[in-house]
Chains A and B, each alone.
Chain A
Amino acid sequence: MSSDELRELTLLYVVNALDEDERRVIDQRLSRGCPETIGALAEARAVLNHLPTLETPISPSPQARERLRSRIERQQSTEARSPAADSAVRTVPEPKSASGRPADAIPSGRALQSPAKRRYSIAIAAIISMILTGGLIAILVVPAMFDQRGQLLSLQEIVKQMKEDMTAYVDDLNRLQERDQVREAMDQLLSSPALKVISLRALENANDENRGWLYWDPESNRCRIYAEHFERPEGGRYRLALVTEDDQEILGATFTFDDSGRSFFDITLPENDIDSPNHFASVRVLHDDSEEGDETDDVLGRPIFGGSFH
């Protein structure tokens, strides 16, 4: 492309008058940082920027100058009252009159309201509040006053019903909150570049349904175990252990199955002195038969499930 062609194209570029192909050519040259194109574009913009100065001046009405002065005076008087709020005051938009035009000649804001007008506004606000409160009561309380057959309940039953509804509502909220936390924890795990995923199988009485996965982030030592169809008696204590080639458990943490019906558990392992997760050969989950205060791992019971790192 010749220099003249480039200068022509950049003129059309700044007024959005290029076809898609031509525009792409200019964009590519600009993205490469082509100095000739950048220079031509600056020249084209200068031509366009200068265009308005060619307009024949037209005098505005004298009121326009007065409105500008009035606006500046208002700003300066506000600044004088509140010097600290200088920057904020400058961004306050010009008050508008009912016609939509700035109302320069009149003071702004609450100063405009007479005491009678203010009382009237307060009364209107109070009435609206009462209507909204009444509506809220009607929505929340009235349905609780009738049973499923539409018969009016006693006050005691109404209170009981409302308590149950409230409890169910709180339970729902807790479930939602828990679900968000679970999702967030998993997202964090999955985003770890060092994430290890190990398949788990039952170690005794295995069948095809016994399966699971361990997600382990060696950097934070956070783990999540998914365990499907494994024996997990409620209230039983278990121990997740990371084991080396010579069958030494280096990292471990105890957890308890609860009655939530969840098939996964989030566990945080203790501080890890091992500099590489490759030192571990396998993972296993065992019954933990230790009592409160036991200081030895000798009481660990039979392994339930486990998996190999390799």
Chain B
Amino acid sequence: MGQITPTMTDDRELLAAIQTRDREALDALYERYSGLVYAVCLRVLQCPADAEDALIDTFWQVWSKPEKYDATRGTVPTYLAMIARSRALDMRRSRSAESNRRDQAKPVDGLAPEMKGEMTIDPAVMQEEENDQVHGALASLTPEQREAIRMSFYNGLSHQEIAQALRTPVGTIKSRLRQGLIQLREYFRTSGEEPLS
């Protein structure tokens, strides 16, 4: 098994080492990005235990198929965050389906049953949201814009569904999404934080 050398600090080198079944490289990658991956999973799943399952699945996927990473399509943290979001969304859909089968609950306040679970936010997570140290690009958005974008991106809701959940007119939600996304795009373009493809 290879060793993490002082020069092997580049994320892409870690991915290359993982392809050779180097567990220490995976450990290093985990050390570097498990906090980000866990945060993304928690954002989607709203449940620490489920988020840890999704975190493990994410790094397991990296370990099992490291060749899937395409350096031309983005940085390693972007790639990890995309896998994390995808795994967490899959997990939430399957758990929501299980929950619906058990509960057979009727829609509440006009929300479809499959959305009810998505809208139930853990109070601890709500508190964390309050304390969230919003930084960088997200800090340039209003809380309402952040909320609309997060609901769209992490919960996979359409603008009508967000409007329904927040009891806000559809046009307002659409405007928040548009303004928020434009601001994010401009932030990335001017800050050079991530090269846009």
Contact = CB atoms under 8 A, between A and B. Distances in A.
Interface residues of B, number: 59
Nearest to B134: A56
A46 B40 CA distance: 17
A234 B194 CA distance: 86
A19 B156 CA distance: 16
A16 interface: yes
B56 A64 contact: yes
A51 B34 contact: no
Contacts of B193: 50
Interface in A23-82: 42-61, 63-65, 67-69, 71-72, 76
Nearest to B32: A57
A16 B197 contact: no
A57 B158 contact: no
A55 B181 contact: no
A55 B36 CA distance: 7
A150 B81 CA distance: 72
Interface in B25-44: 26-27, 30, 34-36, 38-40, 42-43
B56 A53 contact: no
A20 to B, nearest CB: 11
Contact of A56 (B74, B133, B178, B182): B133
A58 B43 CA distance: 11
A270 interface: no
A35 to B, nearest CB: 14
Given A60-B35, A101-B53, A102-B53, A51 B153 contact: yes
B49 interface: yes
A12 B177 contact: yes
B42 to A, nearest CB: 6
A16 B158 contact: yes
Contact of A60 (B52, B177, B188, B197): B52
A57 B53 contact: no
B107 interface: no
A21 B23 CA distance: 51
Given A8-B178, A57-B36, A101 B30 contact: no
A45 B82 CA distance: 11
Contacts of B159: 12, 15-17
B197 A46 contact: yes
Given A48-B153, A51-B153, A58 B38 contact: yes
A52 B85 contact: yes
A46 B35 contact: no
Contacts of B132: 56
Contact of B35 (A17, A48, A58, A67): A58
B81 A53 contact: yes
Given A49-B78, A52-B85, A12 B174 contact: yes
B135 interface: yes
Contacts of B43: 52, 55
3 residue pairs, one from A and one from B, having the closest CB atoms: A57-B35, A52-B81, A17-B159
Interface of B: 21, 23, 26-27, 30, 34-36, 38-40, 42-43, 48-49, 51-53, 55-56, 59-60, 63-64, 74-75, 77-78, 81-82, 84-85, 128, 132-138, 149, 152-153, 156, 158-159, 173-174, 177-178, 181-182, 184-185, 188, 193-194, 196-197
7 contacts: A45-B197, A46-B74, A50-B78, A52-B84, A55-B81, A56-B132, A72-B63
Given A47-B185, A52-B82, A60-B38, 11 more contacts: A8-B182, A11-B182, A47-B188, A48-B181, A52-B36, A54-B136, A61-B52, A64-B34, A67-B56, A71-B60, A72-B26
